[in-house]
Amino acid sequence: MGKSSSPSERNIFLSDPISLFLSIALALFPLIIFPYSADMYALPKVTFLYLSTFLLLFFYFARSIRAGRTIIYRSNFDIPIVLILVYASITLFLSNAPLIGLIGEYKRYEGLPSIFCYAAIFFLTVQLVRQEKHFEYILKALALGFIPVSLYGLLQAAGLDFPTVLRFESRVHSSLANPVLFGSYLVITLPLLVSLARNCKDEKWRLLSWILVLLGIINLIYTESRGAWLGLVAIIIATILRPTRDHATSTIRRKNVAATGRDKLRTLILAISLFLTFAVVALLFIAPNGDLGQRLKSTFNLSDQSLAIRGEIWKASLKMISDRPLRGYGLEQMGYWFTKYKTAEHTKMAPREIADRAHNDLLQVAIDLGIPGLLFYTWMFIIAFLSLFKGKRARKVPHSTGLFGALIGYFAQSQTGMPAVFITPIIWSLLGSTASIGYPTRQIEVVFPGWLKSKSIKPIPILILIAIIVATIKPIIADVYTFKGIHESRISLEKASSDFEEAIRLDPYQTSYLKTAASFYLDYSSYSQNNIFARRASTIAEQGLKINPRDAELAYYVAEANLLDYNLTENQMALDKAKSYYRVAESLWPDFVVVKRRLLEIAMLQNDLKSAAEKAEELKNLGQVDPNIYYVLALNAERNNEREKAEFYFKKIEQIDPKFLLGTKEN
């Protein structure tokens, strides 16, 4: 791959619809959004990921079967990638809720289908990117995709956006939902753009690339993503430490770039102009924003709350890994186990937060796949880094420096960030390019049997493809109904109810829709004072618990619905059911304060002062300051003839709320 491609080879790549489709897909992954769905970011992207991957594979193999034979290129990455796929499948099906990993967690979708799509993109990249120039076409496609993404980020910095978008205060996230993910995307693309600017033969592309680098740096600052900033530092250090090219490589580069003295002077003037422009922008627009300065300072402040919370998540993650070191918990299931490992400090700082990601790539892989899966994953990146850092073959390719920087930047920032379907397909495609650049690929000729071309066989793959397309599109239609239901719940309760029911019908396995519908019916029941809607909320939440028995929120919704049913009807069976499900929720989330309060309330309704006092003591130990808690403790102390304790608790109540005791029955 170190040699330049001939004109015929370039034309073959450009005229090949599959290669062109792959390039376009990689450019569009970060951009795809749909502002009028409940999940406007992740679900449209994962839908596009599934559809584009299925179509690419379908047409690639259809073409190969029609030809009767094909050449498959093998690489050094094949073994770790196959092991990752096999181990991810095994650990998922051994997990407590494999269906979650197959469907994907809402607004994440990094389940088993996504990983197989990443592997397919890697495979297609290895097969299609066979020349150095081919990889440059991929870079050009990414550069074109970078234009709308970066411009959207600048519009957000200026305060302009879709009316349905939730903003991160002054931080920008463009089309990637979160400033951290946008920062990750920028860290990947910036070194690739620099490589295109330095090595492309076409002067227009070099000029465009330098302009995009400037836009990218401005966006990177406005993300206020400290992990991305550190990733950029890692790119600079790694690029400096990387061994320089030998003389032969330098000669090749000079020949490829064909830069005259005039071209070099233009490039120098352009670089200086960009730097001065960036300095002016920084002084006029960025420096006055005090939040940026504070954010930069907090990068090195270990007492910063967001860093402290992340540290507590890491502690919980390490405990999770130590409990299941071999098989992990299965894809997409961290959030349903985190409540069991949530530290006391994390509970104090973020009492109702459930971390569904470790905010560290290596910890996340170990949680999902166990330590063996982590070893396979690390093996894959080690192969890439060794090849691009010191491999003689890679060093002969000018764009390998940008490729090395992109992978280093991604890996560095991901140790404080999180992976996402928004950008992971690009990373696996870059790994596929590394496989072609860094190591000689082995060719295997595959001959297809003649019966695969028979007329009776042709309809089968087409029907399968249609079924996959329908199954892939249904969730996004359900999401649109959920979006409509959320907005119509403020106008028409009947229409909102119909929309939520339709979303559940279309995608009954996505627990997020069940939670949204259950919450809606609870509010509807409370508003209308009709227990029928409370019972519907209970039924929906129980349906979700059958899919995911470890979801504490669903158990909480069942309990809330039955407690509301009791308050409206005084049905003792509903009260008993509420108590039972509150206990389930408590077992899944031991520090869920609201659940403990409800159990205390139910104990008082059932005149079970002993149980009420136990819950009151737990709430007190969790730092809750509430006169009701101390009142229960005082009554229990009086019953047990502990007068000093009772007097202490009554004094505590007077300190909190002097008027509270005037409203009690005993006063």
In a domain, 332, yes or no: yes
In a domain, 564, yes or no: yes
| pLDDT of res. 125 | 95
| pLDDT of res. 277 | 58
The conformation of residue 359, written as its DSSP 8-state character, comes to S
In a domain, 459, yes or no: no
| pLDDT of res. 412 | 94
Choose between 297 and 349: higher pLDDT: 349
| pLDDT of res. 555 | 96
In the structure encoding, which two tokens stand for residue 554, read together? 């669903």
In a shared domain, residues 429 and 508: no
Q: Categorize the per-residue pLDDT at 251 as very low, low, confident or very high, splitting at 50, 70 and 90.
A: very low
CATH number, domain of 624, equals 1.25.40.10
- Region 469-477: mean pLDDT is 92
Element (H, E) at 482: helix 459-488
In the structure encoding, which two tokens stand for residue 442, read together? 């082995």
| pLDDT of res. 360 | 94
With 50 as the cut, is the pLDDT of residue 253 above it?
A: no
- 491 vs 102: CA distance, rounded Å: 36
Q: Which of 400, 428, 447 is the last residue of a domain?
A: 447
User: Mean pLDDT over all residues of the chain?
Assistant: 86
Q: Categorize the per-residue pLDDT at 9 as very low, low, confident or very high, splitting at 50, 70 and 90.
A: very low
Angle at 16 between CA 11 and CA 18, to 5 degrees: 150
With 90 as the cut, is the pLDDT of residue 196 above it?
A: yes
Q: Which domain holds residue 485?
A: 474-663
Per-residue pLDDT tens for 532-566? Answer: 999 999 999 999 999 889 999 999 999 999 999 99
Cβ–Cβ < 8 Å for 143, 450: no
Percent of the chain with pLDDT over 90: 57
In a domain, 651, yes or no: yes
- Region 369-398: mean pLDDT is 89
Cβ–Cβ < 8 Å for 174, 191: no
Q: Which of 447, 465, 494 is the last residue of a domain?
A: 447
| pLDDT of res. 3 | 46
With 90 as the cut, is the pLDDT of residue 134 above it?
A: no
| pLDDT of res. 272 | 59
With 60 as the cut, is the pLDDT of residue 271 above it?
A: no
Torsion angle of C-alpha atoms 510, 181, 308, 105, degrees rounded to 10: 10
Buried b (16+ CB within 10 A) or exposed e, 432-455: bbbbbbbbebeeeeeeeeeeeeee
Give 655's Cβ-side CA count (13 Å radius). 8
Of 131, 181, 173, which Cα lies nearest the Cα of 153? 173
| pLDDT of res. 266 | 57
With 80 as the cut, is the pLDDT of residue 441 above it?
A: no
Domains contained in the chain, number: 2
In a shared domain, residues 483 and 427: no
In a domain, 466, yes or no: no
In the structure encoding, which two tokens stand for residue 4, read together? 């330049």
| pLDDT of res. 5 | 45
In a domain, 391, yes or no: yes
Phi, psi of 607 (to 5 degrees): 55, 35
Q: Categorize the per-residue pLDDT at 375 as very low, low, confident or very high, splitting at 50, 70 and 90.
A: very high
In a domain, 15, yes or no: yes
In a domain, 262, yes or no: yes
In a shared domain, residues 288 and 183: yes
- 116 vs 635: CA distance, rounded Å: 60
In the structure encoding, which two tokens stand for residue 257, read together? 């770039």
The conformation of residue 659, written as its DSSP 8-state character, comes to T
In a shared domain, residues 188 and 251: yes
- 435 vs 414: CA distance, rounded Å: 22
Choose between 529 and 278: higher pLDDT: 529
With 50 as the cut, is the pLDDT of residue 324 above it?
A: yes
Return the HEC string of 117-172.
Answer: HHHHHHHHHHHHCCCHHHHHHHHHHHHHHHHHHHHHHHHHHCCCCCCCCCCECCEC
Beta bridge mates, 445: 71
With 80 as the cut, is the pLDDT of residue 284 above it?
A: no
In a shared domain, residues 106 and 33: yes
Percent of the chain with pLDDT over 70: 88
Choose between 53 and 11: higher pLDDT: 53
- 395 vs 46: CA distance, rounded Å: 35
Give 487's Cβ-side CA count (13 Å radius). 10
Per-residue pLDDT tens for 142-160? Answer: 999 999 999 999 999 888 8
In a shared domain, residues 442 and 478: no
Per-residue pLDDT tens for 285-321? Answer: 544 455 555 555 555 454 567 788 989 999 999 999 9
Q: Which of 447, 482, 497 is the last residue of a domain?
A: 447
In a shared domain, residues 391 and 482: no
In a shared domain, residues 431 and 544: no
In a shared domain, residues 539 and 610: yes
Angle at 443 between CA 441 and CA 445, to 5 degrees: 160
pTM of the model: 0.88
In a shared domain, residues 290 and 400: yes
| Integer angstrom CA distances of residue 186 from 110, 182, 322 | 21, 6, 34
- Region 603-611: mean pLDDT is 92
In a shared domain, residues 636 and 525: yes
Least confident of 35-39, 596-600, 624-628: 624-628
In a shared domain, residues 353 and 495: no
Environment class of residue 417 by beta-carbon count within 10 Å: exposed (0-12), middle (13-18) or buried (19+)? buried
Q: How many CB atoms lie within 10 A of CB 157?
A: 20
Cβ–Cβ < 8 Å for 320, 91: no
